[in-house]
Amino acid sequence: MNEAEKTKWIEKLPLLSEIAERKEVLWRNPKNGDSAAGIAQSGITASDVEDASNRLKRFAPYIEKVFPETTTSKGVIESPITPIPSMKQSLSIKYDTQIPGELLLKQDNSLPISGSIKARGGIYEVLKHAETLAVEHGLIKMDEDYTKFAEPEFRNLFAKHKIAVGSTGNLGLSIGIMSAKLGFDVTVHMSADAKQWKKDLLREKGVTVVEYADDYSKAVEEGRRQAEADQLCHFVDDENSLDLFLGYAVAGERVAAQLSEQGRKVDNDHPLFVYLPCGVGGGPGGVAFGLKLQFGDAVHCFFAEPTHSPCMTIGMMTGLHDKVSVADFGLDNQTAADGLAVGTPSGFVGERIEPLLEGCYTISDDTMFELLTMLADTEDIRLEPSALAGMTGPIQTIRGQVPFADSSTATHLVWATGGSMVPETEMELYYGIGKTIIEESGK
Ligand SMILES: *Cc1c(COP(=O)(O)O)cnc(C)c1O
């Protein structure tokens, strides 16, 4: 995009000038409409998501067998929903804004196996690929006991097949750990900003890690190119994968069951607001889609992005999706929020989620660090910086006068997307950064 085009866009959509100045903004999506129509338009159906859910059920006995940490959940990879009343109080004070509804945290930071939202879509896609191969080669039928996947003949088959992915870190962890466990020859193409401990951990598990001096899009592009040349290689395409999307979407029915067990209603009189940190869009897009299937118009989904990397916000606002990048608006895509440092959104997700998303907002790295420290102090929950992006959601929607956000019967669900894999020393560092920002702003 040239300067003249950029100026034209800013004239048409003045909020873009605030975005270009890296301000924290709220954008309401004018294309958000009737849920049933949006779902129909997406080309993805409830039965596609049900199929993914059933596949995860078939694999649960295998997961339970090879990942002992999933014993209590019987091989189901799920996280708790936790009320965070002390954090709610601190948020209200910090922003001088009342939150009359309830504040809940969806703790994907504690998802088993890889400690982030990527354990949903990433692991699902690898399992689906493994099942396809195993069925094709006559090793298993879909009604058999899937603990067989741990047997040597399966591992021997998978060892002849490759899986590759491009990632800033967390997707690499999920794909790498799951693929290596099944016995695949797996390569993770990592961007320059990926953390050293993630690379080390993957190599420890027998994953090949290729590093790039460039950013995420470059790592994906290289990975895709190398995989295309190899017929036995399955490339997990974070930007265009329906399987990833469906794996994430299964979260919808899980959340519905959890809220119902906790006795919480979701209907037009009890609206559910969900705040999802967004990178390329697959995770939040899939989850939002799954929630829409469950709750229809009673659920209101917002994506949260760093002020330096608001790719989905810009893609949706302009309708240009993957044809626009944050660099077009002078942004550097530099953020401490792993997984959110993405300059160009997924067009596949953007187009599907467009009629279903209520809006997007941005958040600065400083705010994420402050909230990280606040959450540790108030609730003793430690998240990685990206996972705090959802935390200003209730403030943004209430201040932005989004209908019903300030209702006492509203539930605000902040999707905490990662954290439990972060080494303690790294977490201490994050906590310290937040503490310093809080102390300096108090002076
Ligand atoms: C990947 C990731 C996200 C966003 O998911 P996308 O599919 O990239 O949009 C959010 N938070 C964390 C911690 C992540 O790793």
CA separation (Å) from 335 to 131, 149, 385, 389?
A: 37, 39, 10, 12
Query: How far is it, in rounded angstroms, from Cα 87 to Cα 394?
Result: 12
Nearest CA to ligand 1 atom 14: 339
Note the CATH architecture for domain 118-244: 3-Layer(aba) Sandwich (3.40)
Assess contact for 99 and 92: CB atoms under 8 A: yes
Q: What is the largest CA-CA distance in the chain?
A: 68
Whole-angstrom Cα distance, residue 53 to residue 183? 23
- Which is the closest atom of ligand 1 to the Cα of 346? 9
- Rounded to whole angstroms, how far apart are CA atoms 401 and 332? 30
The CA angle 189-111-238, to the nearest 5 degrees, is: 30
Distance CA 422, CA 109 (A): 10
| Residue nearest ligand 1's atom 15 by CA | 339
What spacing in Å lies between the alpha carbon of 305 and ligand 1's midpoint? 10
- The pLDDT value recorded for residue 240 is 92
The closest of 378, 388, 377 to 422, measured between CA atoms, is 388
Q: What are phi and psi of 295, to 5 degrees?
A: -115, -5
Q: How far apart are CA 48 and CA 46, in angstroms?
A: 5
Token digits for 12?
């048409």
Q: Ligand 1 centroid to 390 CA: how many Å?
A: 12
How many whole angstroms separate alpha carbon 359 and alpha carbon 26? 7
Helix, strand, coil abundance in the chain, percent, nearest 5: 55, 15, 35
Q: Answer whether 443's CB lies under 8 Å from 135's CB.
A: no
CA-277 nearest atom, ligand 1: 10
Look-up of token digits 């994906």: 220
C-alpha 168 – ligand 1 centre gap (Å): 9
**What atom in ligand 1 is closest to the CA of residue 278?**
9
Task: Give domain limits for the chain.
Answer: 3-114+245-441, 118-244
Q: Is 313 within 8 Å of 282 (Cβ atoms)?
A: no
Classified as helix, coil or strand, 221 is helix
Q: At 278, which helix (H) or strand (E)? A: none
Query: What's the pLDDT at 277?
Result: 98
Distance CA 391, CA 88 (A): 10
Ligand 1 pocket, CB under 6 A? 116-118, 170, 277-284, 338-340, 384, 386-387, 417-418
Distance, CA of 206 to CA of 180 (rounded, Å): 7
Q: CA 174 → CA 42, 77, 139, 154, distances in Å?
A: 27, 12, 25, 20
Distance of CA 9 to the CA centre of its chain: 28
Return the best residue to mutate from 106, 107, 116 for the ligand 1 pocket (most ligand atoms within 8 A of CB): 116
| Closest residue by CA, ligand 1 atom 2 | 339
Q: What is the pTM of this model?
A: 0.97
**What is the dotted CATH code of the domain comprising 3-114+245-441?**
3.40.50.1100
Please, which residues have CB within 8 angstroms of residue 412's CB and are 6 or more apart in sequence?
Answer: 99, 101, 102, 103, 104, 273, 275, 393, 394, 397, 405
* pLDDT of the residue at 443: 62
**Helix (H) or strand (E) segment spanning residue 163:** strand 162-167
Number of helical (H) and strand (E) elements in the chain, helices listed first: 18, 11
Task: Check residue 73 and give its pLDDT.
Answer: 97
Closest CA to 281 of 138, 117, 135, 162: 117
Residue nearest to atom 1 of ligand 1 (CA): 339
Cα–Cα distance, 125 to 29 (Å, whole number)? 30
Report helix, strand or coil for 71: coil
DSSP helix/strand/coil, 303: strand
Closest CA to 8 of 329, 301, 405: 329
* pLDDT tens for the chain, residues 1 to 443: 899 999 999 999 999 999 999 999 999 999 999 999 999 999 999 999 999 999 999 999 999 999 999 999 999 999 999 999 999 999 999 999 999 999 999 999 999 999 999 999 999 999 999 999 999 999 999 999 999 999 999 999 999 999 999 887 899 999 999 999 999 999 999 887 788 999 999 999 999 999 988 777 888 888 888 889 899 999 999 889 999 999 999 999 999 999 999 999 999 999 999 999 999 999 999 999 999 999 999 999 999 999 999 999 999 999 999 999 999 999 999 999 988 999 999 999 999 999 999 999 999 999 999 999 999 999 999 999 999 999 999 999 999 999 999 999 999 999 999 999 999 999 999 999 999 999 998 76
Q: Report d(CA 293, CA 47) in Å as an integer.
A: 10
* Secondary structure class of 360 (helix, strand, coil): strand
